[in-house]
Amino acid sequence: MNKLKFAIIGFGRIGQRHAEHIKRLAVLSAVCDIKEHLAPNVFSKYGCNFYNAIDEMLLKEKDLDVVSICTPNGLHAEHTIKSLRAGKHVLCEKPMATKTDDCKLMIDEAEKAQKELFIVKQNRFNPPIIEVKKIIDERRLGRILNIQLNCFWNRNDDYYLNSDWKGKKHLDGGILFTQFSHFIDLLYWFNGDVENVHVFAKNLIHQCTIEFEDTAVVAVEFANGALGTLNFTINSYRKNMEGSITIFGEKGTIKVGGQYLNVLEYHCIDGYEIIDLPISRPPNDYGLYQGSMSNHDKVYENIIDVLLHQGKVATNGYEGMKTVEIIEKIYANVKSL
């Protein structure tokens, strides 16, 4: 069986993680990054071509199947659209973009090119999250009444000072985009659109390193009438503390917690017991800090299934856009900063 051929645009920490999964499951044909000093290491480790210009890569690498976009958030739309116009399928890292209008353009270009647009939302593959989605789809909780989301992580000044784009509004967008977009995705995946939002946000201790909030409290009303709260911060002392979601329904309550939505902490559901959940994988480890769950292999397995075996896209462009839409709505309603 022929293996799919991939290229990666952006070879920072997350791009390197993508490369490892591509190497195992498919073929890494090319890497593109503006930092030319990466070239020798890329060639020695992966034996693929290196480019420092996207247009040149897309012109020369004619037999690529998929381009993985791993550049800073604010560049996702531009790089995705160029890749689609070159006739390639695209996998775009989270967030899909930092503006809903850019997401719409990306979706339109995918439709014009008749190519797939995959969005990375690897937390959907966490075993407790898969179980919660199944329970909701089977209506075992009845009507959902309330959802509480807590995101308590640590990102210190060094995290931002060691980056040439994190913390900058035009490339980063805010901590809901870079740190917590996976969590917003799950709000939508579990319970649909958000209609009304009230927000208080402040930059309490990162005034010298970031151009946006480091802490916020959000109250939301969903389109189906349920209420919700979102508390998020990057000021958890020294390390990530918690990433959790609690759902209250007419017929049950369930909480998935741990640091990364990886632990079933509580459930009480009418006539239903959760048993023998698979163990969640460890989070992505970046040395000085940790990120979300390391399920990128599942993302790539889904791409292979879709393109070679007519499978179903795990997270499509429309769903990626809804996450951005909700985040934009939250930021548009910030009361103070």
| CATH code of the domain in which 21 resides | 3.40.50.720
Give the length of the chain.
337
CB atoms within 10 A of CB 30: 21
pTM exceeds 0.85 for this model: yes
> What is the end-to-end Cα distance of the chain in Å, rounded?
55
Residue 229 and residue 105 share a domain: no
Query: Is 311 among the domain residues?
Result: no
Inter-axis angle of helices 100-113 and 317-332, to 10 degrees?
170
- Does residue 309 form part of some domain? no
Residue range of the domain that includes 15: 5-122
Same structural domain, 155 and 168: yes
Q: Which residues pair with 6 in a beta bridge?
A: 28, 66
Cis preceding-peptide flag for 95 (omega within 30 of 0): yes
* 158 and 247 part of one domain: yes
Please state, rounded to an integer, the average pLDDT across all residues of the chain: 95
Helix, coil or strand: residue 140: coil
One DSSP character per residue, 272-325 reads B----PPPPPPEEE-SS-EEEE--HHHHHHHHHHHHHH----SS-HHHHHHHHH
Note the pLDDT of residue 281. 63
The CATH number assigned to the domain holding 322 equals: 3.30.360.10
Which parts of the chain have pLDDT scores under 50? none
Counted domains in the chain: 2
84 located within any domain? yes
Residues 6+ apart with CB under 8 A from 178: 73, 95, 166, 172
Residues 9 and 130 grouped into a single domain = no
